[in-house]
Amino acid sequence: MEKEERDLTELRKQQHVEKALLSSSQYNKTTLLEEIDFIHSSLPELDWEKTDVRASLFGRKFSLPLLITGMTGGYKKAREINIELAKAASSFNIPFGVGSQRAMIENKDLLPTYDVKKEVEDLFLIANIGAYQLKVYSNSQIESLVKDIDANALAIHLNPLQEIIQPEGDRDWENVLFRIGEVVDYLDVPVLIKETGAGISREVASSLASLGIELIDVSGAGGTSWSKIEYMRGGAIKGFEEWGIPTALSILLCRDVVDVIASGGIRSGIDGAKALALGARFFGSAKPFLQAVYEKRVFQLIEEWKNQLKTVLFLTGTKDIEEFRKKRPIIVGEKLYFYAKQLGVKI
Ligand SMILES: Cc1cc2nc3c(=O)[nH]c(=O)nc-3n(C[C@H](O)[C@H](O)[C@H](O)COP(=O)(O)O)c2cc1C
């Protein structure tokens, strides 16, 4: 790759972070999680301290069902951001993902911006690459993305909305599903498929499940809008600022097909609890953690969300996450109920 082109990739990575921090990068439409109310228990018969928010993913036990989803890497400041997030994730025992490693395939000098395990050893680390890139790179190049940073799993992201809005985006998505299947068969680490903020439908979840994919991060609409970010950078095809399946609906559409991580607009431990009650196994978040890096409060933010989750369990009279997911102590508002009904999904 030419030097000029490499500089542009690094500049793009930096711009993404800067634009994502602006409030104008967020959807106007909501996740629909606000449609959910919990059924309050006035007599919990529990000790708050003992409410147990531990949860399993990838066959591992984590201290809470929260994942810091992939965001960055590929330019200088990204190393600082990733290390800050990795330290907090390791200390709380929650999984953490780096952003797309495409830049690292093109320029090996960028490896340190993703390679956080050199500094933070005890970490469940998730590597990241765009699904489209699977058409460009070989199976062994994808495998080396995982190996080079000693990752425990790989997230393959789906971002057709972002690509189509960008003037320089990748537009030929034929055969992407086929390549996902080949890569999943080739790799010996677990693979998760994630959206990047526009949500996953039941049809797409079923196609992925037919390839043996068992875990999907729906990353639905209602939080960071990648079309808005690309419009700020001069997006080409107008009118798609609010495109996407709201997170709450996407959880309902996918939860009977695969195990679901819920991200996209999760902005508190209470939002996370709502996602779990709808059927997600874990919840994930990106922008709030990026912001917390800049405000030097990543540890506080995780602690805050953990306490909120514990409090939801306590106030619904539930002792642990498994019981909470089974009990589903929620009531759902008209709009989400109607959307789900239209698509033949039971709440
Ligand atoms: C600055 C930034 C960069 C991102 N880069 C990636 C990426 O490289 N790969 C990826 O899978 N998702 C990426 N995402 C998407 C997030 O992982 C997440 O799916 C999306 O932002 C929705 O979550 P949120 O509303 O909590 O931000 C990025 C998000 C942000 C904010």
347 in any annotated domain: no
In a domain, 292, yes or no: yes
Ligand 1 centre distance from Cα of residue 307 (Å): 24
At 1, the pLDDT band (50, 70, 90 cuts) reads low
Q: State the total domains in the chain.
A: 1
CA separation for the pair 308, 311 (Å, rounded): 5
**Which protein residue's CA is at the shortest distance from atom 6 of ligand 1?**
71
> Would you state the pLDDT for residue 236?
86
What is the signed CA dihedral for 144, 146, 147, 151, rounded to 10 degrees?
170
Convert the pLDDT of each residue in 109-159 to its tens digit.
999 999 999 999 999 999 999 999 999 999 999 999 999 999 999 999 999
290 is a domain residue = yes
Query: Residue 179 C-alpha to ligand 1 middle, in angstroms?
Result: 22
Residue 100 CA to ligand 1 centre (angstroms): 9
Ligand 1 binding pocket includes 290 (Cβ within 6 Å) = yes
Mean pLDDT, residues 275-303? 98
- pTM of this structure: 0.98
Q: Where are the beta strands (DSSP E) in 69-170?
A: 96-97, 125-130, 153-158
Q: How far does the centroid of ligand 1 lie from the alpha carbon of residue 247, in Å?
A: 14
Report strand pairing: 282-285 vs 66-68: parallel
CATH number at residue 315: 3.20.20.70
* Residue 81 located in a structural domain: yes
pLDDT confidence tier of residue 177, bands split at 50, 70 and 90: very high
Ligand 1 atom 1, closest CA:
17
pLDDT in the model for residue 4: 81
Distance 51 CA to ligand 1 centre (A): 30
pLDDT tens readout for residues 205-237: 999 999 999 999 999 999 999 999 999 999 889
**One-letter amino acid identity for 304?**
E
69 close to ligand 1 (CB < 6 Angstrom): yes
Rounded to the nearest integer, the mean pLDDT of the chain is 97
What is the model's pLDDT at position 131? 98
Q: Is 287 in the pocket of ligand 1 (CB under 6 A)?
A: yes
Domain range for 160: 3-342
